[in-house]
Amino acid sequence: MSLNFELVSAIEAAFGDDLESPVEQKQDALIIRLKNGVILGVRFAAADAYSLRWIYGEAESCIDTAPIHRDLATFPNHFHDADGRVMADPITRPGDLPQDNLRKLVRALLDNPMLGAENAA
């Protein structure tokens, strides 16, 4: 079973009522459209290598594992907020099951699409 198929199944089962439309499967990504206006692009190369980018209105944010912010407590994963700040990732943990990380992020985005600095760990 492919990872993208597993991710689609997990998100549709957990958040079916919160989805604006079915999860879109692209060649290298999933696109998740939430009823609250969030559009989330999901790319997993491995459980510890991912990019999760979302748009909410004009704001763009992301969580990724590019190993470039060594000073953060959550290195290599980190959060780029809509104001361009880079901080510790408040949601995901590299090595956790991708389905679990994605479910945690979708739940957080349904609660607060901006995942503001007040949520940072």
In a domain, 87, yes or no: no
The confidence score (pLDDT) of residue 116 equals 64
Question: Does position 120 have pLDDT exceeding 90, yes or no?
Answer: no
Collapsed DSSP state (helix, strand, coil) of residue 111: helix
Question: Domain range spanning residue 53?
Answer: 3-63+95-114
The confidence score (pLDDT) of residue 2 equals 85
In a domain, 58, yes or no: yes
Question: Does position 3 have pLDDT exceeding 60, yes or no?
Answer: yes
Assess contact for 90 and 119: CB atoms under 8 A. yes
What is the band of 115 on the pLDDT scale with cuts at 50, 70, 90? confident
In a domain, 14, yes or no: yes
In a domain, 84, yes or no: no
The confidence score (pLDDT) of residue 92 equals 96
In a domain, 103, yes or no: yes
Summarize pLDDT for 14-43 with one digit per residue, the tens.
999 999 999 999 988 999 999 999 999 999
- Report pTM: 0.91
Assess contact for 98 and 8: CB atoms under 8 A. no
In a domain, 82, yes or no: no
- Count the domains in the chain: 1
Summarize pLDDT for 62-104 with one digit per residue, the tens.
999 999 999 999 999 999 999 999 999 999 999 899 999 999 9
- ∠ at Cα 63 (23, 54), nearest 5°? 40
Indicate the burial class of 95 (C-beta count within 10 angstroms; 0-12, 13-18, 19 or more): exposed
Question: Does position 119 have pLDDT exceeding 60, yes or no?
Answer: no
Question: Does position 121 have pLDDT exceeding 70, yes or no?
Answer: no
| Rounded (10°) CA dihedral 26, 96, 82, 15 | 60
Question: Does position 1 have pLDDT exceeding 90, yes or no?
Answer: no
| Rounded (10°) CA dihedral 7, 93, 43, 30 | 30
In a domain, 70, yes or no: no
